[in-house]
Structure 1
Amino acid sequence: MSDHDSRALEVAMTGTPYVVRDVMTPTVLALRHGAAFKEIVKALHQWRVSAAPVLDDDGRVVGMVSEADLLRKEQTFDGAPVRYGHIRPEPATTKAASVTVDGLMTAPAVTVRPDATLSEAARAMARHGVRRLPVVGADGKLKGIVSRSDLLKVFLRTDEDIAREIRGTVVPHLFGYLPGPIRVTVHEGVVTLAGHVGDIRLIPVAVGWVRSLDGVVAVDCELAGPRRRPGLTKSERVSGPR
């Protein structure tokens, strides 16, 4: 098992919240500006990746180049003769005509910090329509790369680990004063909370907290308010004992 996988397993077992640093791939293909078209194709093929960050001379990420960027050349210059008086759209033609990474890459690159939460990384991917993000430090230098599949690693966490965290943190923090236990069961990442609580206002707080935990797929809430004490009259239930 690699150090990277060991760290991910350690995080899952201890219940420590994941951040990008915990799931990213630290060893990653990076291209220098000025890299030639065929050099890019060979590098992507050898590393078996579909995209790579582009670095400047100081190692800072300045863009991303992908197979889609490279395929524009094939799509634009498809071998068909250009009819007299017909001009292809300038932006597409310009990018397709580029022979180095500087003209082919998408810039600026959408990046993420190592200490960003996985939710922040996922939102950035969705917002910009990308499948991976270069991970950069405060100086803009490359630290690794995180992909959509990396973000799914939190769901490898076992049901037992999830239940242990809920019983050890959420329940005692919110309901520690209760005489009766809150029952916590987890199956395939779906958490069921059952039992009676003294303050029903804490129920949505508990559900929201549990739903935010790493590895939780969904929450089934069966929590209810406090049980009525047997033998009380209606007036005692309303006013309480004198």
Structure 2
Amino acid sequence: MQARDVMTSSVVSVTPETTIHELARLLVQHRISAAPVVDTDGHVVGVISEGDLLRREEIGTEKRANRRAWWLDILSDGGAADYIKSHARTVGEIMTRDPVCVNEDTSLAEIAAVLESHHIKRVPVLRDGRLVGIVSRSNLVQALASSLVVESAPDALASDAEIRAMLMGDLAGRGWAFPGRDIVVRDGIVHLWGTVWSGDQLDAMRIASESIPGVKRVVDHTIPYPIMPGL
């Protein structure tokens, strides 16, 4: 799946000239927590969120300057950045500039990596450099929910050999996977044998097994890998 398949197309956007009070009303009215900032040509020039509005002098939440030696203020910005955050009048003055964006054909795997690596909750989607949508974490969760299907009756008729072949195919190339000799399928039940290095390895094998259509349950016969003293 790609960005175009899950993105929200009706995006509420603002401009750098939008006032902070107008922005606050838009966020409340549309029940959103952030908005992309676009120029007159529809190019994304920034992003602004609720987090940018936390420290505001109107509601008494601005950061108070700590009393310290005057020379420390000279060497630093003297709280100038904090003052801008709490007293700015337009979006352009406090927005996050040059935000990360993706294209319509960006895969969901790539989008997930972007959200994770940049520690963000949403990412604008572009077409020919212009804003056409936005993908948020909730969009990915919705895609996941849509992909989950209940096993059908024909799946339950898969033979033990077919189940094992599908499982081995899914495990191919995964460094944590058990060797084939440690996986036995009988009457739709997957039996796991051998030694395991960690609980995560065993959980991964169980989840992989349970994801195969026709598997009734998974039985664990494994033993922990012996830890050598002094290692």
Q: Distance in 1 between the 2:170 and 2:64 partners?
A: 66
What's the CA shift for 1:110? 1.4
Cα gap change, 1:95 to 1:180, in 2 (>3 Å):
closer
Give the counterpart of 1:182 among 162, 165, 168.
162
Q: How does 1:50-65 map to 2 (within 5 A)?
A: 50-65=33-48
CA 1:61–1:163: 2 relative to 1, 3 Å: farther
Go from structure 1 to structure 2 and tell me whether the alpha carbon gap of 1:141 and 1:76 turns closer, same or farther (over 3 Å shift). farther
Which of 68, 84, 101 is equivalent to 1:111? 101
What TM-score results when the alignment is normalised by the length of structure 2?
Answer: 0.61
1:147 paired to 2:114: no
Cα deviation code 1:2-51 (max 9, x no counterpart): xxxxxxxxxxxxxxxx1111111100100012111101111111111010
1:57 aligned counterpart, secondary structure: coil
CA contact (8 A) 2:14 2:35 kept: yes
CA, structure 1 residues 182+42, in 2 after alignment: closer, same or farther (shift >3 Å)?
Answer: same
1:35 and 2:15 equivalent?
no
> 1:121-141 CA deviation, whole Å, 9 max, x = no partner?
11111111111111111x321
Matched residue type, 1:31: V
- TM-score of the superposition, structure 1-length normalised? 0.59
Q: Secondary structure at the match of 1:116?
A: coil
CA contact (8 A) 2:65 2:79 kept: no
Q: Percent same amino acid at aligned positions?
A: 33
CA contact (8 A) 1:25 1:144 kept: yes
Following the alignment from structure 2 to structure 1, what is the Cα–Cα distance between the partners of residues 152 and 107?
Answer: 18
CA distance in 2, matches of 1:196, 1:129: 35
| Cα RMSD, aligned residues only | 4.0
Matches within 5 A, 1:86-125: 88-125=78-115
Secondary structure at the aligned position of 2:139 is classed as helix
2:171 aligned residue (204, 219, 226): 204
Cα distance in structure 1, aligned partners of 2:34 and 2:107: 23
**Secondary structure, counterpart of 1:72 in structure 2:** coil
Q: 1:123 to 1:30 in 2, by over 3 A?
A: same
**CA distance in structure 2 between the partners assigned to 1:61 and 1:221 by the alignment:** 43
Q: Does 1:72 align with 2:55?
A: yes
- CA deviations 1:193-237 (Å, max 9, x no partner) are x2599xx7x5633879xxxxxxxx9412899xxxxxxxxxxxxxx
